[in-house]
């Protein structure tokens, strides 16, 4: 059975690698389009990651993607950098954070 966005987002804290996030204090807004459209956010602070559904008022970074493409990135079927270059992912805010984000989670 394919992974859903809510399953993927609930797995994010478990896939988080705290030592890769040293000094990071950020809220990231995820805006998903497509089959599983919706808003989620992740807070990374003090070596911890928490995820919630909904929008936040002032995220440090915003990631917009089709829900199916984001699942493919998280499962390793699609390269995140390629997806960005192809316009499948749109980023706003702190782009350095986006680069770090790829290393902060173990992609299976």
Where are the domains positioned within the chain? 5-97
The count of other CB atoms within 10 Å of the CB of residue 2 is 7
- Which helix (H) or strand (E) segment holds residue 81: the answer is helix 80-85
Which of 4, 11, 1 has its CA nearest to residue 68?
Answer: 4
pLDDT above 60: residue 32: yes
Q: For the chain, what is the mean pLDDT? A: 93
Contact between 53 and 39 (Cβ < 8 Å): yes
Rounded to an integer, what distance in angstroms lies between the CA atom of residue 17 and that of residue 55? 24
Query: Does the model's pTM come out above 0.85?
Result: yes
The CATH classification number of 5-97 equals 3.30.1050.10
């Amino acid at each position: 059975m394919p992974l859903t966005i809510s399953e993927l987002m609930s797995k994010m804290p478990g896939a988080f690698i705290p030592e890769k996030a040293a000094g990071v204090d950020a809220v990231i807004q995820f805006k998903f389009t497509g089959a599983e459209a919706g808003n989620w956010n992740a807070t990374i602070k003090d070596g911890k990651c928490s995820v919630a559904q909904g929008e936040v008022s002032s995220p440090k970074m915003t990631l917009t993607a089709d829900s199916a493409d984001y699942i493919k990135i998280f499962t390793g079927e699609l390269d995140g950098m390629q997806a960005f270059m192809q316009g499948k992912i749109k980023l706003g805010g702190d782009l350095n954070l986006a680069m770090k984000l790829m290393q902060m989670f173990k992609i299976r």
